[in-house]
Amino acid sequence: MNNLIECQQVSYHYNSGKIKTPVLEALNLSISSGESIAILGQSGCGKSTLLNLLGGMSQPSKGEVHLNGTNLGQLSEDKITELRAQHLGFVYQFHHLLKDFSALDNVAMPLLIRGDDKQVALTSAGELLSKVGLQDRLDHRPAE
């Protein structure tokens, strides 16, 4: 498998006036294409910060984040957005589903937004839902 995401000596800190608060220090991480991971930890330990760095929504204070072999620190915001749309998917603890759409439609939505053919998007969404054991709930709405 190829590394889809790679962090090399990534550090991140927040600046508040003269106070520098470290969140991540010298993190090395590799995530292979097709691999599913879970990021767990106490509140405030840097989980959301890490997700923002992995998705190119924030830049590290030090180190490099590579997506599909490309250093995100060398790309424009538009190019990072394009790469994120093509190669990444995040599942957050608190999901925000569209209440008037089925599970299948909610999962297909990002694929349609990036321009995938509707039938291809629906087929892919169905396969993803099956992988997580929701094949019997494709037509259910979030409240059902």
pLDDT in tens, 107-124: 998 888 888 999 999 999
Q: Band the pLDDT of 143: cuts 50, 70, 90.
A: confident
Whether 76 is covered by a domain: the verdict is yes
CATH of the domain at 80: 3.40.50.300
Whether 74 is covered by a domain: the verdict is yes
CA atoms within 13 A on the CB side of 62: 10
Whether 71 is covered by a domain: the verdict is yes
Candidate from 18-32, 49-63, 130-144 with smallest mean pLDDT: 130-144
The answer to whether residues 73 and 131 belong to one domain is no
Residue 44, both tokens:
């405030």
Whether 143 is covered by a domain: the verdict is no
The total of structural domains in the chain comes to 2
Percent of the chain past pLDDT 70, that is, above it, reads 94
Residues 39, 65: Cα–Cα separation, whole Å: 17
What φ, ψ does residue 34 adopt, rounded to 5°?
85, -10
The answer to whether residues 79 and 115 belong to one domain is no
The answer to whether residues 60 and 122 belong to one domain is no
pLDDT in tens, 61-118: 999 999 888 999 999 999 998 888 887 776 665 567 888 899 999 999 888 888 899 9
Range(s) of the domain holding residue 128: 103-137
Cα 117 to Cα 89, 90, 111, 124, 135: the distances in Å are 18, 21, 8, 11, 21
The pLDDT value given to residue 4? 85
Q: Band the pLDDT of 42: cuts 50, 70, 90.
A: confident
The answer to whether residues 8 and 72 belong to one domain is yes
Q: Band the pLDDT of 59: cuts 50, 70, 90.
A: very high
Whether 93 is covered by a domain: the verdict is no
The pLDDT value given to residue 49? 92
